A and B are shown apart, each in its own frame.
Chain A
Amino acid sequence: DTEVTQTPKHLVMGMTNKKSLKCEQHMGHRAMYWYKQKAKKPPELMFVYSYEKLSINESVPSRFSPECPNSSLLNLHLHALQPEDSALYLCASSQEGTVYNSPLHFGNGTRLTVT
């Protein structure tokens, strides 16, 4: 199994809703990542978990809350989002905690629309 699986594929939510994005990998990778990608732009790093511990938070607003229940799962909890948060949210994993020795494997993403 060489895939990173993300659910849901599409999500529409209001600004007062609470929702969660889920990511799963069964490649035994020890690092997992959340990226945000706006149209026609590169992925922007949000969070990195290395060995189930949060290692990087790129000054992301608190309305985004990551969670890593175990080494295979990564969640992103969403609350009180703004319309400008609409984007493609990509999960990725890498075998080790550094991209130098282990390239990123991306999931297909969740396309989020905030109304």
Chain B
Amino acid sequence: GENVEQHPSTLSVQEGDSAVIKCTYSDSASNYFPWYKQELGKRPQLIIDIRSNVGEKKDQRIAVTLNKTAKHFSLHITETQPEDSAVYFCAACSLGGAQKLVFGQGTRLTINP
């Protein structure tokens, strides 16, 4: 089955700097890659997703890149703000089979003012 590895587990950046979180997946059939943000005590919320037919997607300060050959995808947050502090989870899903989301272990991002 699919296995998703996420790095780093914790990340601390200065406000205004960029943050990058990386994930690798094992199943070459996976073709949908969402990113969820979970603030302390709150629910996971989808912030951006990408499908395997594109290499990059951007939404304001957030972008996701996908390298299908290397089987890795990354989340990029630019001009970080204190409200970006949260745990971020990447996930992968295969169109075939049970079509389940497999989550990475999460990255705790802290933005220092």
Contacts and interface: CB of A to CB of B under 8 A. Distances in A.
B42 A108 contact: yes
Contact of B45 (A41, A56, A106): A106
Interface string B78-100: 00000000000100010100111
B37 to A, nearest CB: 11
A109 B43 contact: yes
A8 interface: no
Contacts of A105: 46
A98 interface: yes
A45 B44 CA distance: 14
Interface in B23-69: 31-32, 34, 42-46, 49, 51
B18 interface: no
Interface residues of B, number: 21
Secondary structure call for the A interface: loop
B11 interface: no
B99 A42 contact: no
Given A40-B106, A100-B99, A90 B43 contact: yes
Interface in A81-115: 90, 98-100, 103-109
B44 A90 contact: yes
From A48, A90, A106, residue with most partner B Cβ within 10 Å: A106
Interface of B: 31-32, 34, 42-46, 49, 51, 89, 93, 95, 98-101, 103-106
